[in-house]
Amino acid sequence: MAQTFDVAVIGGGPGGYVAAIRASQLGMRCVVIEKEKLGGLCLNWGCIPSKALLRSAEVYHIIQNASEFGISVGSLKFDSKKIIKRSRDAADKLSKGVQFLLRKNKIEHISGTGVIAKPGVIKVSANGKTQEVKARNIVIATGGFTRSLPGVEIDKKKVISSREALILDKLPKSVIIIGGGPIGIEFAYFYNAFDVKCTIVEMMPDILPLEDIELTKILTKNFKKNGIDILTETKVESIKTNTKGVTVKVSVKGGAAKNLKGDVALMAVGFGGLVEGLGLEKSGVKVEKSFIKVDENYKTNIDGVYAIGDVIGPPLLAHVASAEGIYLVEKLAGQNPTPIDYNNIPGCTYCQPQVASVGMTEQKAIDAGHKVKVGRFPFLANGKAIAIGETEGLVKLVFDEKYGELLGAHIIGIEATDMIAELSVAKALETTPGEIFKTIHAHPTLSEAVMEAAADALGEAIHI
């Protein structure tokens, strides 16, 4: 006998399971259908395990430079298998945590592949058996898949995605990273920390092309200083593999084509929406360039069918998926939730120095017609940064000169990804530079750099 739910979610990632929990809190009967581990791509094969790897790289770097802190260390070595195991353990722990949260909130979890048979009906297949699930509302939250370049197969051996990179027991001696976005940059930092020869190939003029150019220039200089080769305005023409490794043929703007050789090539050119095998074509749900089309309330063109997260397109971020899931189910519950402000979504890259931003870059603000007032404060002048030996980077704030509105905030440096939250709140509250500056920040903290950058925009900075 088919079960009937108020909400059935296909996909147990940060969009799907969060939507289900919020729906349950609002009194709805919910089910989450997930064919793999709960937590989705982010928790199992993205955000969490990759940050665990990066932490190992950070610790290794700190120990290498222990003498700067007056500490002597003997022979230093690393065990790549243990590094990978720690990363997998972190992911497994959180996946089990999601299982607990579903049980706590009385949400049914069905392990299997969900296909929309028709509006209101999902057929779930697992281990050769099929069951039918009925729901008044179906939420598609299947996430994304790793894109490749046209004609290039990710063979998972010599041409790998981030998923394979997360479980390589033995690190390669050299890697060619295709794509200079956050994923490519984070893996470049990780590999470089453990003496893997890294080359980044990026077709845009700069790495992290969505970030403020002032920050990307600082990061580029840092990476090059540490031995990472960066080829920008460079297009991949072909990738050939053999038993020894890969040959990547590239053409540099204004130059001749050349071959790059490495043990592996890591494909990091972005994600598409995971829409295959969901029965969307049969049910009539519109899809465009692998992403499901939805309206402002995340409703597809079919009544009772909704979609959230990476499967509906950029920004492809876990925290955006969660926010969309909460908004959607609150709307379904008859509430009047505040729409998501897509101009106030923080973006983070977890290399060292970290990069974090929210809102417009300085150039985008100018292009949008704003007359801007910019404040900067370097960590080199921050007491906490000096004390902990992490002085590289700065805080940059972009304000509208006429109204004082915070248009964008950009940080490169230690703990930038945590510091950006203050500025996301400030932007949401339409805070002015004077209000940030006059808010007393504890001393000594890295966040004082935010206060001083706001003061700098007013010409009142004390410590520069």
Domain at 70, CATH number? 3.50.50.60
User: What does the pLDDT average to over 227-253?
Assistant: 96
Q: What are the φ and ψ backbone dihedral angles of 179, each rounded to 5 degrees?
A: 120, 125
| Whole-structure pTM value | 0.95
DSSP character at residue 299 = B
Contact 123, 117 (CB under 8 A): yes
Tell me: do 237 and 285 sit in the same domain. no
Cα–Cα distance measured from residue 183 to residue 270, given in angstroms and rounded to the nearest whole number: 8
Strands (E), 13-89: 30-34
Q: Which of 172, 237, 168 is nearest to 199 (CA)?
A: 172
Residues in the chain: 464
pLDDT tens-digit readout, 358-409 = 999 999 999 999 999 999 999 999 999 999 999 999 999 999 999 999 999 9
Query: Cα-atom radius of gyration of the chain, to the nearest Å?
Result: 24
Tell me: do 289 and 434 sit in the same domain. no
Q: Which of 16, 6, 21, 9 is nearest to 106 (CA)?
A: 21
Tell me: do 233 and 381 sit in the same domain. no
Contact 26, 147 (CB under 8 A): no
User: What does the pLDDT average to over 72-92?
Assistant: 95
Residue 92 lies in a domain: yes
**What is the three-class DSSP state of 289?**
coil
Residue 170 lies in a domain: yes
pLDDT tens-digit readout, 274-301 = 999 999 999 999 999 999 999 999 999 9
Q: What are the φ and ψ backbone dihedral angles of 21, each rounded to 5 degrees?
A: -65, -45
**What is the three-class DSSP state of 140?**
strand
Neighbour-count burial of 279, counting CB atoms closer than 10 A to its CB (0-12 exposed, 13-18 middle, 19+ buried): middle
Tell me: do 212 and 134 sit in the same domain. no
Please calculate the CA angle 250-253-256 and round it to the nearest 5 degrees.
Answer: 55
Q: Is the pLDDT of residue 28 over 60?
A: yes
Cα–Cα distance measured from residue 325 to residue 23, given in angstroms and rounded to the nearest whole number: 9
Q: Is the pLDDT of residue 1 over 70?
A: no
How confident is residue 450, by pLDDT bands cut at 50, 70 and 90? very high
Q: Of 332, 357, 384, which marks where a domain is finished?
A: 332
End-to-end CA distance of the chain: 72
Cα atoms in the Cβ-side hemisphere of radius 13 Å centred on 132: 8
Tell me: do 208 and 61 sit in the same domain. no
Give the chain's domain count.
Answer: 3
Tell me: do 236 and 113 sit in the same domain. no
Q: Which residues are catalytic?
A: 443
DSSP character at residue 214 = H
Q: Is the pLDDT of residue 338 over 60?
A: yes
Sorted by sequence, the CB contacts under 8 Å of residue 8 that are 6+ apart come out as 30, 31, 33, 114, 122, 133, 134, 135, 137, 138, 139
Q: Is the pLDDT of residue 23 over 60?
A: yes
Q: Which residue has the higher pLDDT, 230 or 41?
A: 230
Tell me: do 171 and 250 sit in the same domain. yes
Q: What pLDDT score does 392 carry?
A: 97
pLDDT tens-digit readout, 94-105 = 999 999 999 999
Q: Which of 382, 415, 389, 353 is nearest to 68 (CA)?
A: 389
